[in-house]
Amino acid sequence: MFEQTFKNIDDVLREEAGCTTELDYTEQTSWLLFLKYLDDLEQERALEAELAGKPYEFIIDEAHRWSAWAAPKKANGTLDRDHALSGDDLIDYVNRKLFPYLQSFKQRATSPDTIEYKIGEIFSEIKNRFQSGYSLGDALEYIDELRFRSQQEKHELSHLYEAKIKNMGNAGRNGGEYYTPRPLIRAMIQVVKPKIGDRIYDGACGSAGFLCECYDYLRRGKLTTKELEILQKHTFTGKEKKSLAYVIAIMNMILHGIDAPNIMHSNTLTENLSDIQDKNRFDVILANPPFGGKERKEVQQNFPIKTGETAFLFLQHFIKILKMGGTAAVVIKNTFLSNSENASRALRQELLSSCNLHTILDCPSGTFIGAGVKTVVLFFEKGKPFDSVQGTPLFSQGKPLNEGMATRKIWYYQLDPGRNMGITNSLNDKDLREFVELQARFAETEKSWLVDIADVDRETFDLSVKNPNKAEESVLREPQEILDEIAALDEESAEILAGIGGMV
């Protein structure tokens, strides 16, 4: 229904001098979509209020509503081009009047979880990149064709928007940080099994893929009005540091059905772990935190295990903010399992002692398009009421490895789709079906095995993936044998060249 409209919008953006990448296309589409959604939402609420005989107070002033500046209509419902702004007048209005007006909502909002605050935050963080008012006018006309009234319309728009986010992930540069493959997210959710009433959290939410997929998972079946309200208002929390990702996350959740998403624009890692209280904790954590980044010294001071590696700081945060008995699934680079540096070793020690690390999914190269490292997914539950972040880790108390520990056995699964992964061969749900089925009973197969925690090396806490069931690979030749063969081939080549030289 709307696919061609999205293609038309992209065609306009490709011709626009101010937009050069897929990231720009998604950013500009996002703020236009948001304002059209807001107008549809307001019109719907106003109609409901009128039918109920109640007044309705619009959020957006009449002069700045979509129907006033973006798409004024004639009595017959067609676009009134005589009253529509165009060219330089349109660009001037958007930059000098509309954006400042929308930015002011942040100061006027009563709290950060209101739609008013989201409006102010969004338009404080992005800018209009259109330089041509005529291009913007064309884009507005196409956006006006979209409708957000029915669930079917929202469902289609959410799929089209997800496709745009995926294209960002394939666009090179830093686009991949916005996109975690949806089949992997769905498999993680199926293992974690969130339920209505759980508080679900992603402290590095990017485009909110985990939260959106979780919403879809929980939305299945018939829900009561109370359950729907819980899903809308009391279930999902996300935090995102980067401006563009924050805007995309809000728009993505709106399209999936959350009217006022609880996404905060903040750097999770600046929060001191010692300030986290029980009321701040969550039942379920699903996340793919950024790795490879480096955090400043002052940020590291918020954590007991000091490290500049962003992903390791996030993992400490997740362990701390998870409720006792809560469950988590976190993507992390596979070198975390075996790095010998003190921070990695201490963090593995912390994870094993305070949580039940029951499953490790080993992902193949190419799972994340454009990422140069291999990843694993850690599945764990918060263990006994022993807070080793603020106390002494059990390992450090001199107890045997199999005593007083939350982790007893770890089930590993080595994902092998049987093909090279890439843009044209991306992960699909079928690839992960076996993993989900076997994980439910921790079955041992050629691709999966159990490791007893008592067998983990006490000095290194090495948890690296070593499949004991994999067929023996060819034994590597000794270096000296290879060198001898090279020398022999060199001698043979010299003889041949000498023979050719004699014939010349």
Taking the C-alpha atoms of residue 451 and residue 470, their distance in angstroms, rounded to an integer, is 15
Phi, psi of 72 (to 5 degrees): -65, 145
Pairing of strands 200-202, 236-240: parallel
Taking the C-alpha atoms of residue 332 and residue 482, their distance in angstroms, rounded to an integer, is 37
Q: How many H-runs (helices) and E-runs (strands) does the chain carry? A: 18, 9
**Model confidence pTM above 0.75:** yes
Task: Tell me how far CA of residue 340 lies from CA of 134, 189, 289, 345, 348, in angstroms.
Answer: 58, 31, 21, 6, 11
Give the SS3 label for residue 331.
Answer: strand
- In DSSP terms, 356 is beta-bridged to 381
Strand order in the sheet with 448-452: 263-265, 236-240, 200-202, 282-287, 322-333, 375-382, 355-362, 409-414, 448-452
- In DSSP terms, 383 is beta-bridged to none
Name the one residue in this structure whose structure tokens are 């009217």: 259
- In DSSP terms, 380 is beta-bridged to 328, 357
- What percentage of the chain's residues is helix, strand, coil (to nearest 5)? 50, 10, 40
* Tens of pLDDT, residue by residue, the chain (504 residues): 688 888 899 899 999 888 888 888 888 988 998 899 889 888 888 999 999 999 999 999 999 999 899 998 888 888 888 888 899 999 999 999 999 999 999 888 777 777 888 889 889 888 899 999 999 999 999 999 888 776 777 777 888 887 877 776 555 444 445 578 899 999 999 999 999 999 999 999 988 999 999 999 999 888 999 999 999 989 999 999 988 888 888 888 888 888 778 999 889 999 988 899 999 999 999 999 987 767 788 888 889 998 889 999 999 999 999 999 999 999 999 999 998 888 999 999 999 999 999 999 999 888 876 666 789 999 999 985 444 433 444 444 445 544 557 898 999 999 998 888 777 788 899 999 999 999 999 999 999 999 999 898 888 899 998 888 876 544 455 565 566 567 655 655 665 555 555 554
Taking the C-alpha atoms of residue 361 and residue 378, their distance in angstroms, rounded to an integer, is 7
